[in-house]
Amino acid sequence: MHIPNRRSLLAAAAAFGATAAASAQGGEPMIGNNGATIIGPRNAQREGQNPNILRPPSTDHGSMPNLRFSFADAHMKIREGGWSREVTQRELAISTTMAGVNMRLTPGGVREMHWHKQAEWSFMLAGRARITAVDNDGHNFISDVGAGDLWYFPSGIPHSIQGLPDEGCEFLLAFPDGEFSEDSTFAITDLFAHNDPGVLAKTLGVERETLDHIPKEERFIFQAEPPPALPSDEIQDPLGAVPLDMVFRLTQQPPTQSAGGNVRIADMRNFPISSDVAAALVEVNPGHMRELHWHPNADEWQYYISGQARMTVFAAEARARTFDYRAGDVGYVPMSMSHFIENTGNEPLRFLELFKAPRFVDVSLTQWMALTPPELVAAHLNIDRAVIEKLRKDKQPVV
């Protein structure tokens, strides 16, 4: 027979205390007369962050894949000069079309010169950075970016990122491939470490001895001195600059405004180089929501910047499920599945909608109903025709 020791008794008491506290706060899987309290082990804090998983709405039904993963649960790669963490299909299995990386660079911290098979789309979350690139025709690009700015590097185009004073920077990177991983990037230091020095010297037109101290492995993120002012750092290119701007000042664009919030869209119509990724920055005021809608051209990958939200996704075949989101979380909605995103907090909700597509496209439930003969809609839903005739015919992304 097992005789409990002091440690096991303390652990049991702590678990009981957590259960009692959760019960006192109403954090139990009980709705009316259904369900029961949890009397076994539990993570009450995590349950409190996901109330619609613990107590699903009665409209939830059937089996659905997980549509949420938090960067807080992602592995952190820590280096001198910054850190990085990623959410790919490995972490969020449903995310087949998009992967994301959250990165922080100190002032002077460098994400080393590299390139990818996939295009790179980025949103600056905080601070300032300097980015550089050279395209396949030998045109160069250098620019400083700040919070709210986007950049886009087409697939295969080499580039770099460096944090600027006073605080460096933090940003979100998105790649239109769910299987993408930072570990599979092509880094300049890795290239040098795994090519014959004689070959490198011939390629560069330099003496072999000048390459005696090259790094022996990939540096990934490293600390360097902050760069000089932008005009002093620019390299005059005899072929000129890149033909399409690689930076877009998203938050400086006028939004589509409504009573409940606003939306700013960036796709090939106003950011022509971004051929593989379309995006929307959505702001939802407390008590409002991103309306019921769906996207007929691509899956939706979401990144939550601030606030709290709940999202219900309807997947046909009587399947629906509700998830809760907080800052730093990733959400995902497969193509054509209807959904809404409601602000469940008392501060503005800000999040990004990203698509592996050249254009942002959505279909509004309300607009569809308003632009269909009212007697037909009434026959389907048993709603009074007068109510249907009052529905708005223009699209209101936030209501």
159 is written with which tokens? Answer: 């580039």
Task: Give the separation between CA 242 and CA 191, rounded to whole angstroms.
Answer: 25
In the residue annotation, 353 being an active-site residue is answered as yes
Is residue 342 a contact partner of residue 293, using CB atoms and an 8 Å limit? Answer: no
Tell which phi-psi region holds residue 287, choosing left (phi > 0), alpha (psi between -120 and 50) or beta.
left
Of 114, 102, 108, 116, the closest CA to residue 74 belongs to 102
| Catalytic position from the list 47, 167, 353, 375 | 353
99 contacts 179 by C-beta, under 8 angstroms: yes
Q: Tell me if 221 sits within 8 A of 171, measured CB to CB.
A: no
Indicate left, alpha or beta for 126 from its phi (over 0: left) and psi (-120 to 50: alpha).
beta
Dist. CA 134–CA 73, nearest whole Å = 35
In the chain, which ranges are continuous DSSP H helix?
Answer: 6-24, 44-49, 51-54, 188-193, 197-204, 230-233, 365-370, 374-381, 385-389
Other CB atoms within 10 Å distance of the CB of residue 237:
14
310-341: b (≥16 Cβ within 10 Å) or e: bbbbbbeeeebbbbbbbbbbbbbbbeebbbbb
* Upstream peptide bond of 177 is cis (omega within 30 degrees of 0): no
Assess contact for 133 and 158: CB atoms under 8 A: yes
Distances from the Cα of 282 to the Cα of 98, 105, 198, 278, 304, angstroms = 19, 26, 53, 13, 10
Query: Which residues participate in catalysis according to the annotation?
Result: 353
